[in-house]
Amino acid sequence: MTRPCTATRLGHLFWTLGYKAGNLLERVPGLKSFMRRPAIGRLRQRILVHYVNGLEDRRYWNQTEMPALLGAGFQRILFVGCEPYTAWIPGTFEECEIECWTTDILPDNGQWGNPDRHIVADIAAIEAHPLPEHFDAVLFNGVMGYGVTGEMMAAIAPVLARLLPPGGLLLIGWNQGLVEDPLALPTVTQWFVHRAWRELPARQMFARSTHVFDHFLRRDPS
C-alpha cells in the first residue's frame, strides 16, 4: 500500500472535518429540518465517500484487496453490505467478468448494490432467497460490528460456508474493540481455516485504524 503524501493527508483532513461537522450539525435541534433536505443529504453522501476512501484500511481495500480479488480468476462472488462508498464495487467486478451478487438487510441500500443481482435479506437468512448454488468468495467487510454481533456471526458462519465450495474465500473485515475477534468464534474456525491468501497475509492490521482484514478458506469436509 502506498503512503499518503502531504496533499493527500490534507485532503483527508478536509473530508474528515466535513464529515464530523455534518454529524455535529445534525444534532443541533434548530437545524434538523435543514439537514434533512435532499440536497444536503446528497452533499453529505459525497463527503462520506471521500472521508471513507481516505481511511487507512479503506485505502488498503481499494489498492490491495480489490486488485487481488479482481485477479483471482473468480467467476462469482457475494458482496455483503452496500453503502455509497461501495457503489463502484459491483460494476468493477462485472467489468472483469466476475458475476457480483450484492445483498443488504436494508431495502434502501439496494441503490448501491448491483441493480441486476441484488437481494434484500438478512445474511443469516440468505438461503431463503433464490441464489446461485456456489460463490468463489464471500466479501463480508464492515458488517460485523455494524449490524452483526459476534453471537450472530457464530450462527452466520455455517450459512456462509454452505455458499462456498471447499477452498472458497471468506473475507471478514471487522473492528477491534467493536466486536469479537472472528478467530474466537468456534463455528468460524470449525468451517474455515485462517490462511494467507494469494500474496495477502491471513490477517492484515493497521497502525492508525482498528480495522482488521481476515482471510479464511472454506475447509474441505472430507
Ligand X SMILES: C[S@@+](CC[C@H](N)C(=O)[O-])C[C@H]1O[C@@H](n2cnc3c(N)ncnc32)[C@H](O)[C@@H]1O
Name the site residues for ligand X (rule: CB under 6 A).
80-83, 86, 103-106, 109, 122-124, 141-143, 146-148
CB of 86 to ligand X, least distance (A): 5
CB-nearer residue toward ligand X: 137 or 220 = 137
Q: Check residue 50 and report its DSSP letter.
A: H
Strand partners, 140: 172
CB of 99 to ligand X, least distance (A): 18
Tell me whether strands 192-194 and 169-175 are parallel, antiparallel or unpaired: unpaired
Nearest residue to ligand X by CB is 147
CB of 33 to ligand X, least distance (A): 25
- Do the Cβ atoms of 100 and 112 come closer than 8 Å? no
CB of 85 to ligand X, least distance (A): 7
In degrees and rounded to multiples of 5, residue 106 shows phi and psi of -90, 120
C-alpha distances out from residue 101 to 5, 75, 107, 110, Å:
35, 11, 15, 11
Q: Where do runs of H (alpha helix) occur along the chain? A: 6-26, 32-35, 38-54, 56-60, 66-70, 88-95, 150-163, 186-191
CB-nearer residue toward ligand X: 122 or 180 = 122
CB-nearer residue toward ligand X: 159 or 219 = 159
- Do the Cβ atoms of 53 and 47 come closer than 8 Å? no
CB-nearer residue toward ligand X: 158 or 166 = 158
CB-nearer residue toward ligand X: 85 or 192 = 85
Q: Which of 107, 103, 210 is nearest to 163 (CA)?
A: 103
Copy the grid coordinates of residue 104: 443488504
CB of 158 to ligand X, least distance (A): 15
CB-nearer residue toward ligand X: 206 or 219 = 206
CB of 105 to ligand X, least distance (A): 4
